A = this chain, B = another copy of it.
Amino acid sequence: MFHIASEEYYQDNQIIFREGDLGDWIYVLESGSVELTKNVDGEPVCIGTLHSGEILGDLGFFAKTPRTATARAIGTTVLGNLDRRFLDQEYNKLSGSFRVIIQSMAIRLKNTTQYACRQT
């Protein structure tokens, strides 16, 4: 269903990206799992685990923000890089106002995740 530009292979426990890294690739998880953690007062706090078919990295694309969490492979994991040209084409089809709506949702997700971690 997704337009995959390339695949990336990770071993168990290998870091995919770190919180604060620059990057706006969106991935679909083809197999394996990914643990997401945020740094809270110097300690990693798990904010979720992604499984096959789920999307990773969308906030970098929509909210134009550095990576909001550290992503680590759990077990042997395969990620599909969604084709960037396809994503840009799709996004560029949209009017400015519709993009503002999507961007505002992405920024709220970033802020809510930050808040939820502070409450843990």
Please report A residues at the B interface, Cβ cutoff 8 Å. 1-3, 26, 54-55, 58-59, 62, 82, 87, 90-91, 93-98, 100-102, 104-106, 108-109, 112-113, 115-116, 119-120
Which of B1, B3, B109 touches A109 (beta carbons < 8 Å)? B109
Which of B26, B54, B96, B105 touches A62 (beta carbons < 8 Å)? B105
Other CB < 8 Å A-B pairs besides A55-B100, A87-B98, 4 of them?
A55-B105, A82-B101, A108-B109, A116-B119
**Whole-angstrom distance between the Cβ of A85 and the nearest chain B Cβ:** 13
Q: A87 CA to B101 CA in the complex, in Å?
A: 10
This protein's copies in its complex: 2
**Shortest 5 CB-CB contacts between residues of A and residues of B:** A119-B119, A116-B116, A90-B98, A109-B109, A93-B93
Can you report 18 residue pairs joining A to B where beta carbons are below 8 Å apart?
A: A1-B100, A3-B97, A55-B104, A55-B105, A58-B101, A59-B105, A82-B97, A87-B98, A90-B98, A94-B94, A102-B102, A102-B105, A105-B105, A105-B106, A109-B109, A115-B116, A116-B119, A119-B119
